Chain A
Amino acid sequence: MSAIRILLADDHVVMRRGLRFLLESQKDFSVIGEASDGREAVQQAEALNPDVAVLDIAMPHLSGLEAAQRIAAQSPRIGIVMLSMHSDEGYVLRALKAGARSYLLKDSAEDDLIEAIKAVSHGKTYFGSEISNMLVEDYIREIRARGLEDTFETLTSREREILQLVAEGNSNKEIANQLNVSPYTIETHRRNLQEKLNLHTVADLILYAVRKRIIS
């Protein structure tokens, strides 16, 4: 298996150096480029076509969110890991909508980054334990405070299975292959479960799955 080719974007040199040191300790990782702002990250992604782009959320000229959006639009194949100081679900949702498949807190990057890069390079999603815990806690508090009905209970087991697979980053076709049914069946299930949960984007589904601890 060839090495995973990585682009690192962060406006702090010390941070980049630390991350590079961490990543290059993995024998199947290769850091092929670095960028110090969002615009440079978009250019480098286009020029180098890496497998994974690790983006800091707050960068000058073009923020990590904007850069992620452009890179995802340019080449959806590139897995994006978003590094952030913010543990708020607003940011997580925004990053997912921008096209990131992983969202990590900078504090815990050294623990989770390697796993995250491996996951997104296979087109999967990944959230660090800290983010997952935070999202779950917020969700539970909200449910308790409002006395909301848990819509998850209304899903069939097939729908739950499909929700998990979608949230992990699989396409309808991939899911159909895994479950040995036609993509149309998957599409129908997916529509139903989205209707039941009242969630209409992949980003919302992923966030929901993390909150319900279906994925992490």
Chain B
Amino acid sequence: MEHRFRSRSALIVGLGSLLAIMAVAGLSALRVLQDVRGKDDTIRRQFLSRNHVLNDIRSQVYLSGTLVRDYLLEPESNRAETYRTSLEDIRRQMYEALDSYGRAVDQDEIQQYTALRNELDRYWETLTPVFAWSSAERGQRGYPFLRDEVFPRRSNMLAMADRIAEINEQQLNAGNAQVAALLAGFQSRLVVTLIAALGLGLGLAAFSARRIAKLEARENARFDEVASARAQLKDLSAKLVHAQETERRGLSRELHDEVGQSLSAVLVELRNLSAGLGVRPVEDLRAQAEETKALVESTVRVVRNMALLLRPSMLDDLGLAPALRWQAREVSKRTGMDVTVTTELASDDFPDEYKTCIYRVVQEALHNCARHAHASKVRVRLQQSGDHFALSIQDDGIGFNPEQTKGLGLLGIQERVTGLGGRCRVHSTPGRGTVLAVELPCPAEKTLADPVRA
């Protein structure tokens, strides 16, 4: 019972931890995947938006260069004014782009960013006096200014933007590496979890398999036991039916052959006597009457023996102990065995089925002693101690192996005793005599306590 409970709780704990491990592994996998995806997204978005801004700045630098050139080389004042307005627009746009970039700039690129911004400031500072030039001045100083001031600064800015883009790309790579590391960590954790779950699952499976095998074996053993018990019972009941039939046949034959025949003979004799009255000599009649009397006497004996065999009247008239002593004397007389009976009973006041059971057990045991054991001395002891009867029948006969031989008599004893909730054991070794020990629960207390019977 306890074992079953233990293994059941072990199974529950094992399965529970297996499920817990799987749930934890699954949840952490989901979380890690979500993290990875989020991080990946952010990195890509940041990279793209920065790249976009940088490209804008870069194209505006080019555009501004072109516009400055057009402005400087344009002789028409009105046209030049249009270029200048466009340049102002571009300048504003460039600063807007740079500001938006500056909001997301991080530690690694702040230097480059500031440099770019300064360069841009200088660029526009360099350009500012140009807008005040007249068209003649533009025509005269325009080209050298472009060549010496604008183009080098423009190249500088572009180089800086390229460096920033490079850093940006480096960051993208670093982010990707971070994601990869996250994934690798997750992978190794997943492997560990998988191995743990697999190990635990294998352990559980092995434990369950062994447990099931054990249960199956026990079930099979029980089934075999039941089957053999059933077979034994069937065999026993067949034997009992046979024994009952044999007994009845014996009684019937005895009734018919002994009692019936004798009574018929008596009838004939009486008829003859009555016919002979006054006809035959008195001596003759007396002799015949004596013969008839002897016949009746022997018939009376036969009937008495049969009645005693069926149910000894002393069991009812005198009680158990005197009936047992009578039986012992009868067996002694019949077989020559010395049978002693010792009884220690508190009273003779217990139910009839107990008296009958004990009486029949002793009867059967004595029968075995005489017929099978060839004993010369038999001791019958009956004790009432506390809450049970202890009955023992010990002989000095040839003994037998109780494991191998079990006669009908012994089976009958067992049936009677277990029928009343008792136990019965046989101790015997070939050549060493036999002890039959019977223990019966005592009903006396219950009988006394029963108010209906009191």
Contact = CB atoms under 8 A, between A and B. Distances in A.
A90 B318 contact: yes
Interface in A51-97: 57-58, 63, 65, 85-86, 88-91, 93-94
Nearest to A108: B297
Interface of A: 57-58, 63, 65, 85-86, 88-91, 93-94, 107, 138, 141, 145-146
B445 interface: no
Interface string B310-329: 00011001100011011001
Contacts of B300: 85, 107
Given A94-B317, A141-B333, A146 B323 contact: no
Contact of B313 (A58, A94, A138, A145): A58
B64 to A, nearest CB: 146
B340 A65 contact: no
A146 B304 CA distance: 29
A146 B300 CA distance: 33
A90 B322 contact: yes
A93 B313 CA distance: 15
A91 B333 contact: no
A19 to B, nearest CB: 16
A91 B314 contact: yes
A145 B332 contact: yes
B332 A141 contact: yes
Contacts of B333: 138, 141
B338 interface: yes
A137 B195 CA distance: 94
B32 to A, nearest CB: 99
B411 to A, nearest CB: 30
A146 B314 CA distance: 25
Given A58-B313, A86-B313, A107 B338 contact: no
A167 B128 CA distance: 168
A146 B340 contact: yes
A88 B325 CA distance: 10
Contacts of B326: 88, 90
B297 A88 contact: no
B340 A90 contact: no
Interface in B213-245: none
A58 B329 CA distance: 22
B332 A88 contact: no
Given A63-B317, A86-B314, 11 more contacts: A58-B313, A88-B322, A89-B329, A90-B318, A90-B322, A90-B326, A91-B318, A94-B318, A94-B322, A107-B297, A141-B332
**Secondary structure dominating the interface of B:** helix
Nearest to B323: A90
A180 B222 CA distance: 84
B340 A88 contact: no
B338 A65 contact: no
Contacts of A138: 329, 333
A69 to B, nearest CB: 13
A146 B313 contact: no
Nearest to B316: A63
A146 B297 CA distance: 33
A141 B314 CA distance: 21
Contacts of A145: 332, 338
Contact of B317 (A65, A107, A146): A65
A40 B338 CA distance: 43
Contacts of B317: 57-58, 63, 65, 91, 94
The 7 closest A-B pairs by CB, nearest first: A90-B322, A145-B338, A88-B326, A90-B318, A90-B326, A94-B318, A107-B297
B338 A88 contact: no
A146 B325 contact: no
Contacts of B323: 90
A63 B317 CA distance: 8
A145 B331 CA distance: 13
Contacts of B329: 88-89, 138
Contacts of A57: 317
Nearest to B314: A90
B322 to A, nearest CB: 4
A134 to B, nearest CB: 10
Contacts of B338: 145-146
A111 to B, nearest CB: 11
29 contacts: A57-B317, A58-B313, A63-B317, A65-B317, A86-B313, A86-B314, A88-B314, A88-B322, A88-B326, A88-B329, A89-B329, A90-B314, A90-B318, A90-B323, A90-B325, A90-B326, A91-B317, A91-B318, A93-B322, A94-B317, A94-B318, A94-B322, A107-B300, A138-B329, A138-B333, A141-B332, A141-B333, A145-B332, A146-B338
A94 B318 CA distance: 7
Contacts of A89: 329
Contacts of B325: 90
Nearest to A94: B318
B278 to A, nearest CB: 21
Interface string B332-362: 1100001010000000000000000000000
A193 to B, nearest CB: 24
A57 B318 CA distance: 12
A57 B314 CA distance: 11
A85 B304 contact: yes
Contacts of A58: 313, 317
Which interface residue of A85, A88, A93, A107 has the most chain B CB atoms within 10 A? A88
